[in-house]
A = this chain, B = another copy of it.
Amino acid sequence: MKKTAMAVAIAAVTAAAAHAGTVTSDGADIVIKTKGGIEAKTADGNASFKLGGRMQLDFNSFDGVINTVPGEDGSDIFFRRARIELGGHYHDWEYEMAYNLTDSGSIDQLHTTYAGLGDLGQLTFGQQKENFGLEDTGSSKWITAMERSLPANTFDTGNNVGAKLHGANDFISYSLGVFKQDLDDKNDLDTAMTGRIVVRPMYGEDGLIHIGAGYTTRDGEFTQLGSRLGVRGGEDGSAAARIRGRYTGGAVADELEAWNGELAGSFGPVHAMAEYFDGEISGAGGAPDIEADGYYVQLGWILTGESRSYKTDIAAFDKVKPSGPSGAWEAFARYDELDVSDTDNIPPVQLIGETGNTLTLGVNWYANELVKIALNYVHAETDEEISGEDDGDAVVGRIQFAF
Contact = CB atoms under 8 A, between A and B. Distances in A.
Given A78-B161, A110-B55, A187-B76, A95 B36 contact: yes
Contact of A36 (B13, B57, B90): B90
B187 A234 contact: yes
A137 interface: no
Given A8-B14, A55-B110, A47 B24 contact: no
Interface in A18-68: 19-38, 40-43, 47-49, 51, 53, 55, 57, 67-68
Contacts of A14: 5, 8-9
B24 A22 contact: yes
Contact of A38 (B10, B49, B57, B91): B49
Contacts of A101: 97, 99, 105, 107, 110
Contact of A22 (B16, B36, B68, B105): B16
Interface stretch (A166-174, A178-186, A203-211): A178-186
Nearest to A99: B101
B49 A36 contact: yes
A97 B84 contact: yes
Contacts of A57: 111-112, 125-126, 161
The 6 closest A-B pairs by CB, nearest first: A105-B105, A74-B187, A21-B25, A20-B24, A187-B239, A72-B186
A32 B34 CA distance: 10
A31 B36 contact: no
Contacts of A35: 47, 90
A235 B183 contact: yes
B186 A74 contact: yes
Contacts of A19: 26
Interface string A86-119: 1011111101010101101111001110000000
Of A8, A24, A34, most buried by chain B (CB within 10 Å of CB) is A34
Contacts of A239: 183, 187
Contacts of A189: 75-77
Interface residues of A, number: 99
Contacts of A40: 32, 34, 38
B24 A21 contact: yes
Contacts of A367: 92-93
Contacts of A68: 187
B90 A368 contact: yes
A22 B26 CA distance: 9
Contacts of A78: 161, 180
A29 B22 contact: yes
Contacts of A370: 90, 93
A37 B88 contact: yes
A251 to B, nearest CB: 24
B48 A51 contact: no
Interface in A128-180: 161-162, 180
A403 B50 CA distance: 12
A120 interface: no
A101 to B, nearest CB: 5
Nearest to A91: B368
A209 to B, nearest CB: 33
A21 B12 contact: no
Nearest to A191: B77
Given A189-B76, A239-B187, A28 B24 contact: no
Residue among A17, A24, A368 with the most chain B CB within 10 A? A24
